[in-house]
Chain A
């Protein structure tokens, strides 16, 4: 156990960063001798190297986590601030699934669980994760076995069905934070329910980790989470500059720490660095695009397996995504955290994330982002396997266009399964959309 723990620490502090630097060298060597391609994008962010190092270390360290520290598999909207003080290593299956999506591994993984009877119409993150668990295939070497599964239904109810399948497979406890949906205003008894579940969570965390809840530790993590959230918000806010100092795809990739490392120093140090770089670029007029002609808003999850394709298609004509409702969600999730009352404020904060609130609230967010970031248009990704994010988009499209005067496109795809996507159709739609601006 002690040896395992030592391995775990070493992996995080030394092994991971070393691997990442190796990877960096490989890329540099490969890039040498190649003529620079004509690119519509501005110079890449320096911080990207650090991001890769952090995430490589995170996953490398994860390989040594089981047996060293208590391991929790956690949903992206889960109040992880309540788990971290107990020493849990948190794994984010959604983040892992996004990686699988980018690397186009989803069809194979999904086939494996479809053979077990899971429908292809189910959430592609769930199919990817269950497929990875069942086949053992993963692009990150190895995911540690969980000691605890922690799911919060604020992003969707599907996570509960998904995590129950994981609980059946791993035979470990599943702790649920069920957040009733907010129609208008959250009722006091709804928040009280979430609060009570967080208190139950604390007791489960104590039992599994063998540590007592320490108010100091909880407050410390809460402070870090709040700070991280604010720093991420600062990074996003630089997108208001003209030109925006980074692109929409950058945002999707750079959000990994606020999701998977929220409440840690690593996360906050990173965003301080990123924020400073972005502010510097904004000041010097260096844009994410060489020539920014039109500014767009993106709604819903990214199309992970085609992120670069879509961004490049748009960038070639000077279109940049300067804000997204998805990256923005992480600037809001932890914003109400109060270190003086972590449990109570987490109950409030996590109940009010974008996907757990009604459509008028969603429209308000899209409208506000459109206005604050000065966009000319918006693309609403009609994500086939994410119903909570996609239901209502037909109306949102009409209303957003009517209220703001911007042009809005509804684009059919999926967040990680390329089989639900027709490249020709999408290119056509996006091109026609762009032409409508000329």
Chain B
């Protein structure tokens, strides 16, 4: 299990790292909440992966918000790396929708794994994982219970506010007004899904999903519904960027 390349995706919410073998397959991985002292965290994570896989001389590819603060052989944007990682996992062209903690990306991947086009929602939290995180936190709903609660909802309670802060107040009023929690949760998921879908709507082709939010089945289902198209979750969705970064130095 000798790894020959390492990839690090230093996001503003989570820090992800992988080690890949000569065929580009992921053989070790790490996912942690990003520490404000990024440099030290990345150094430690890389060291741990090197120890685990014996890849002491392997080059590091970096991506993500903090990519320039990491000593790496190559630093490429998350766009390029996510495209590479997704293409490596799926082997075909399509539209990758990556919903992360603080941004959402839609990347059109071409038949050779190249980036054809991309768009990002990075100014407004309401179109990102943060939207759900803030409100679920406020409602004290643990992440592992969300999907089952949403599945139980008889109907969806619409949440119309376009701003995370206003949506929070709106949700509090809805709860106070006696609306069922499951319905509100479903409405929240639909609200986020519709914003994400708006970014992706024009892009033709198969839709794939990555990012931490893809680990939430309710969110995947909501996105499927909003797009009216099938959505396939990339295996190990949080690691797609780091994987692509490792491939870039392979």
Q: Do A and B touch each other in the complex, judged by CB within 8 A?
A: yes
Residues of A within 8 A of B (CB): 111, 114-115, 418-420, 422-425
Tell me if A115 and B166 are in contact (CB < 8 A): no
- B166 closest partner in A (C-beta): A422
Q: How far is the CA of A419 from the CA of B126 in the complex (A)?
A: 12
Docked complex: B157-203 residues within 8 A CB-CB of A: 160-163, 166, 169-170, 173, 198, 201-202
Tell me if A419 and B198 are in contact (CB < 8 A): no
Q: How far is the CA of A293 from the CA of B162 in the complex (A)?
A: 36
Residues in A with CB closer than 8 Å to B201 are: 115
- Extra A-B contacts (17), CB below 8 Å, given A111-B198, A115-B198, A420-B162: A114-B198, A115-B201, A115-B202, A418-B160, A419-B160, A419-B162, A422-B161, A422-B163, A422-B166, A422-B169, A422-B170, A423-B170, A424-B166, A424-B169, A424-B170, A424-B173, A425-B166
Q: How far is the CA of A420 from the CA of B163 in the complex (A)?
A: 9
CB distance from A132 to the nearest CB of B (A): 18
Q: How far is the CA of A422 from the CA of B173 in the complex (A)?
A: 12
Residues in B with CB closer than 8 Å to A422 are: 161, 163, 166, 169-170
CB distance from A428 to the nearest CB of B (A): 10
Could you tell me the dominant secondary structure of chain B's interface residues? loop
Interface size bucket, B side?
A: 10 to 19
Residues of B within 8 A of A (CB): 160-163, 166, 169-170, 173, 198, 201-202
Q: How far is the CA of A114 from the CA of B202 in the complex (A)?
A: 10
Q: List 8 tightest A-B contacts by C-beta distance, closest first.
A: A422-B166, A419-B162, A115-B201, A424-B169, A115-B202, A422-B161, A111-B198, A424-B173
What are 20 A-B contacts defined by CB distance under 8 Å?
A111-B198, A114-B198, A115-B198, A115-B201, A115-B202, A418-B160, A419-B160, A419-B162, A420-B162, A422-B161, A422-B163, A422-B166, A422-B169, A422-B170, A423-B170, A424-B166, A424-B169, A424-B170, A424-B173, A425-B166
- A417 closest partner in B (C-beta): B162
CB distance from B46 to the nearest CB of A (A): 42
- B194 closest partner in A (C-beta): A111
- A107 closest partner in B (C-beta): B160
Residues in B with CB closer than 8 Å to A114 are: 198
Q: How far is the CA of A419 from the CA of B127 in the complex (A)?
A: 14
- A117 closest partner in B (C-beta): B202
CB distance from A243 to the nearest CB of B (A): 34
CB distance from A75 to the nearest CB of B (A): 29
Q: How far is the CA of A423 from the CA of B161 in the complex (A)?
A: 9
CB distance from B198 to the nearest CB of A (A): 6
Q: How far is the CA of A424 from the CA of B167 in the complex (A)?
A: 10
Residues in A with CB closer than 8 Å to B170 are: 422-424
CB distance from A114 to the nearest CB of B (A): 7
- A428 closest partner in B (C-beta): B169
Q: How far is the CA of A424 from the CA of B170 in the complex (A)?
A: 7
Q: How far is the CA of A111 from the CA of B202 in the complex (A)?
A: 11
Q: How far is the CA of A425 from the CA of B166 in the complex (A)?
A: 8
- B200 closest partner in A (C-beta): A115
Residues in A with CB closer than 8 Å to B163 are: 422
